[in-house]
């Protein structure tokens, strides 16, 4: 079994979903693994990873809208506000989503569905540089 690991540094522009499918595909290709598993892990507590529709950007907009209603900023009940009004909501949004994803590989390709893409979801208002660990195992 072969293992391959690379860290992607993704620059975000603030809140929103940023598709990283292409960058992950490049790592898969560089790994030389044709059959196995691609594990992704975001090394932050205020960002997350999701596999979501990548054909219609309205989906990402609607997800942002829904999470904005579900986890509002400026809630006076938050005690963790050291880094601003978006700090605690970003931690809650990350806890409600995922910090890791697993995608099977076959034929040297990610086995994503037709309309699926891999997204880094930035939950903070300001942009950041986020690290996503890509670990590939297989033959």
- Do residues 137 and 35 make contact, with C-beta atoms less than 8 angstroms apart? no
**Which has the minimum average pLDDT: 37-51, 72-86, 100-114?**
72-86
Q: What is the pLDDT of residues 16-41, one digit of tens each?
A: 999 999 999 999 999 999 999 999 99
**Residue 63 carries which DSSP code?**
H
Residue 135 CA to residue 4 CA, distance in Å, equals 6
Residue 80 CA to residue 71 CA, distance in Å, equals 14
Among candidate residues 96, 139, 99, 91, the one with its CA nearest the CA of residue 119: 99
Q: What share of the chain is helix, strand, coil (3-state, %, to 5)?
A: 25, 40, 35
Q: What is the pLDDT of residues 108-125, one digit of tens each?
A: 999 999 999 999 999 999
- Do residues 130 and 7 make contact, with C-beta atoms less than 8 angstroms apart? no
Domain regions of the chain by residue span? 2-138
**Residue 37 carries which DSSP code?**
E
CATH topology for 2-138 is Jelly Rolls (2.60.120)
Q: Which pTM was predicted?
A: 0.96
């Amino acid at each position: 079994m072969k293992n391959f690991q690379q860290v992607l540094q993704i620059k975000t522009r603030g809140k929103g979903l940023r598709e990283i499918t292409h960058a992950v595909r490049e790592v898969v290709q560089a790994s030389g693994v044709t059959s196995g598993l691609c594990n992704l892990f975001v090394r932050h507590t205020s960002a997350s990873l999701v596999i979501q529709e990548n054909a219609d950007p309205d989906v990402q907009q609607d997800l942002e809208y829904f999470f904005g209603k579900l986890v509002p900023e400026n809630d006076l009940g938050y005690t963790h506000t050291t880094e601003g009004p978006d700090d605690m909501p970003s931690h809650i949004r990350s806890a409600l989503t995922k910090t890791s994803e697993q995608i099977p590989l076959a034929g040297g390709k990610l086995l994503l569905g037709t309309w699926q893409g891999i997204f880094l979801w930035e939950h903070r208002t300001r942009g950041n540089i986020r690290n996503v660990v890509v670990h590939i195992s297989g033959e």
